[in-house]
């Protein structure tokens, strides 16, 4: 029987992360990592379908959704440590790690730090480093949030987060969704507190990180996916990362921008399932090999 529940996990420093588990008990695990300025609802178009055959964990990182938003930058190393504490605390072993953008950086960071822990990783809009141009964009997003709130910021971030056709069709919905995300991540916050603290500290943490000198340490299978229309992390950045990972495969997806799992969930699911079939080497999706199947 497939079950779903949402709970909170307390990290060693007292921060509470909001998480959700879907899928049948005992099935192989998939853990999904959100992008910057997002939350676990990013995966609403794909997680329930994967949960038919897999045990799926989604969660809100620090400063996102219903998780706590402590007042400090949320650096990549912290996000990797948080993810490990959550997964190990929930008894998750040998998961497939799936991440978008900043979540892809967490996936790659986990594969660097804990080789052999995961079955493999899928990094959408993954990159080796935050370069100068990206730092300028993130700083501009922070300035817009400060000057005019989330609606002004939306005009700055939108062309980079979604492909042109997807954005045109869903502009008003995405605008409202973005505004709601910017004021989340402060469970139980008091009146008078900074309503955008979580969003601001996500961006502050994203300004300074690099994995380019450590990607060669990854030994687990990795699928790197880049949208052909991605303006924030163009395909050359994904290729730059892929060249450093000997166990990687790199694909450019036509017709989509930065947020492939949101813009084309069916196409994304097909690639996830193909990658899982490759990892399982012919095993059924419940983890059994043909010899174990009754």
CA triplet 151, 156, 161: central angle to 5 degrees?
100
**pLDDT by residue, tens only, the chain of 294 residues:** 345 566 999 999 999 999 999 999 999 999 999 999 999 999 999 999 999 999 999 999 999 999 999 999 999 999 999 999 999 999 999 999 999 999 999 999 999 999 999 999 999 999 999 999 999 999 999 999 999 999 999 999 999 999 999 999 999 999 999 988 887 655 544 445 788 999 999 999 999 899 999 999 999 999 999 999 999 999 999 999 999 999 999 999 999 999 999 999 999 999 999 999 999 884 444 443 333 333
Q: Is the dihedral of CA 59, 61, 65, 67 positive or negative?
A: positive
pLDDT at 3: 52
Output the DSSP codes for 69-90. Answer: --SS---HHHHHHHHHHHHHHT
Both tokens of 117, joined, read: 């822990």
Distance CA 43, CA 130 (A): 24
Output the domain CATH number for residue 76.
3.40.50.1820
What is d(CA 31, CA 87) in angstroms, rounded to the nearest whole number?
8
Domain count, the chain: 1
Q: At what angle do helices 132-161 and 197-206 cross, to 10 degrees?
A: 130
CA-to-CA dists, residue 37 to 123, 240, 242, angstroms: 17, 24, 25
pTM here is 0.91
Write out the residue range of the structural domain in which residue 267 sits.
Answer: 2-292
Q: Are 14 and 41 in contact (CB under 8 A)?
A: no
- Output DSSP code: residue 220: S
Query: Which residue, 169, 187, 171, 188, is CA-closest to 179?
Result: 171
pLDDT at 184: 66
């Amino acid at each position: 029987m497939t079950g779903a529940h949402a709970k909170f996990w307390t990290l060693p420093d007292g921060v509470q992360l909001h998480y959700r588990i879907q899928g049948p008990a005992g099935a192989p695990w998939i853990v999904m990592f959100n992008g910057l300025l997002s939350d676990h609802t990013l995966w609403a178009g794909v997680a329930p379908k994967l949960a038919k055959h897999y045990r799926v964990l989604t969660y809100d990182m620090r400063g996102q959704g219903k998780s706590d938003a402590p007042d400090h930058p949320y650096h990549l190393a912290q996000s990797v440590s948080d993810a490990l504490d959550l997964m190990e605390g929930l008894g998750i072993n040998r998961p497939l790690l799936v991440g978008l953008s900043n979540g892809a950086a967490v996936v790659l960071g986990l594969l660097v730090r804990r080789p052999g822990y995961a079955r493999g990783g899928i990094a959408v809009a993954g990159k080796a480093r935050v370069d100068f141009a990206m730092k300028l964009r993130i700083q501009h997003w922070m300035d817009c949030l400060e000057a005019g709130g989330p609606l002004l910021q939306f005009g700055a971030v939108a062309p980079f987060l979604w492909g042109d056709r997807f954005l045109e069709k869903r502009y008003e919905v995405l605008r409202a969704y973005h505004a709601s995300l910017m004021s989340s991540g402060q469970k139980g916050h008091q009146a008078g507190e900074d309503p955008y603290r979580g969003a601001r500290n996500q961006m502050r943490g994203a300004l300074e990180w690099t994995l380019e000198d450590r990607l060669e340490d990854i030994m687990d299978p990795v699928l790197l996916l880049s949208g052909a229309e991605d303006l924030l992390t163009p395909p050359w950045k994904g290729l730059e990362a892929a060249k450093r990972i000997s166990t990687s495969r790199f694909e450019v997806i036509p017709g989509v921008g930065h947020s492939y799992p949101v813009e084309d969930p069916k196409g994304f699911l097909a690639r996830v399932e193909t990658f899982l079939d490759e990892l399982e080497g012919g095993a059924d999706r419940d983890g059994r090999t043909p010899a174990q199947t009754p």
